[in-house]
């Protein structure tokens, strides 16, 4: 595997590691609120998935000699401020933000999988194929569980637009150097 690919993909996986950690933390925080009772089982299962994803991504990075705990922090996750802001608004806005993030992650993780397959990196393909299935399920279940009303729709749209406007630099560098197959440079 070429050094540039490994460096760029490692930076993306490190951002994703911290995203998984933060999502797990925020879901754990939400679970402490009485308002979360209707979704408790779903949120506990998702929190467990997020923590498993964090362990899996960290394990990959450690195998590559890049432990994210050495010099990294949750602030390395591009959307950490957005997550914290929406979580501070309450349970439903926090879940709307996490749900929209899971949808965006699904799109990006599919791109990562295509790039890794094209480059010949079965380790990243296997990891993200598994995580991608969970992310799609999380997004669908979280967003379907939220009450369908104009306020929640507006909150979801705001979260999605703000995250889409804040593309992660490591992702941009990877996509420029290794455009996902089917996309033009």
124: Cα within 13 Å, side-chain hemisphere = 26
In this structure, what CATH number is given to the domain that contains residue 79?
Answer: 1.20.910.10
- pLDDT, tens digit, for every residue of 93-144? 988 998 999 999 999 999 999 999 999 999 999 999 999 999 999 999 988 9
| Residue 182 located in a structural domain | no
Task: Classify the phi-psi angles of 65: left when phi > 0, otherwise alpha if psi is within -120 to 50, otherwise beta.
Answer: left
pLDDT bin (cut points 50, 70, 90) of residue 184 is very low
pLDDT tops 80 at residue 1: no
| Residue 65 located in a structural domain | yes
Question: 61 is in which domain, residue-wise?
Answer: 3-177
**How many structural domains compose the chain?**
1
Contact of 53 with 20, CB cutoff 8 Å: yes
| Residue 151 located in a structural domain | yes
- pLDDT, tens digit, for every residue of 32-79? 888 888 889 999 999 999 999 999 999 999 999 999 999 888 888 888
Q: How far is CA 144 from CA 39, 100, 115, 165, 171, in A?
A: 11, 11, 30, 24, 28
| Residue 170 located in a structural domain | yes
| Residue 87 located in a structural domain | yes
| Residue 68 located in a structural domain | yes
CA 99, CA 119: separation in Å to the nearest integer?
Answer: 30
Structure tokens at 156: 């979801």
Q: Quote the pLDDT of residue 169.
A: 92
Q: At what angle do helices 40-63 and 122-145 cross, to 10 degrees?
A: 160
| Residue 183 located in a structural domain | no
């Amino acid at each position: 595997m070429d050094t540039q690919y490994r460096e760029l993909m490692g930076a993306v996986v490190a951002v994703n590691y911290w995203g998984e950690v933060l999502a797990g933390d925020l879901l754990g925080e939400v679970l402490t609120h009485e308002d979360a009772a209707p979704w408790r089982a779903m949120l506990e299962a998702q929190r467990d998935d997020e923590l498993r994803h964090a362990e899996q991504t960290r394990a990959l990075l450690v195998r590559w000699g890049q432990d994210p705990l050495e010099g990294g922090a949750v602030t390395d996750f591009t959307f950490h401020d957005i997550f914290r802001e929406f979580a501070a608004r309450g349970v439903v806005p926090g879940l709307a933000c996490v749900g929209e993030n899971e949808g965006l992650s699904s799109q990006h993780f599919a791109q990562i999988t295509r790039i890794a397959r094209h480059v010949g990196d079965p380790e990243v393909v296997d990891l993200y194929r598994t995580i991608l299935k969970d992310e799609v399920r999380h997004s669908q279940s979280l967003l379907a569980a939220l009450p369908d009303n104009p306020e929640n729709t507006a909150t979801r749209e705001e979260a999605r637009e703000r995250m889409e406007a804040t593309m992660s630099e490591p992702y941009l560098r990877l996509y420029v150097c290794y455009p996902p197959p089917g996309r033009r440079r």
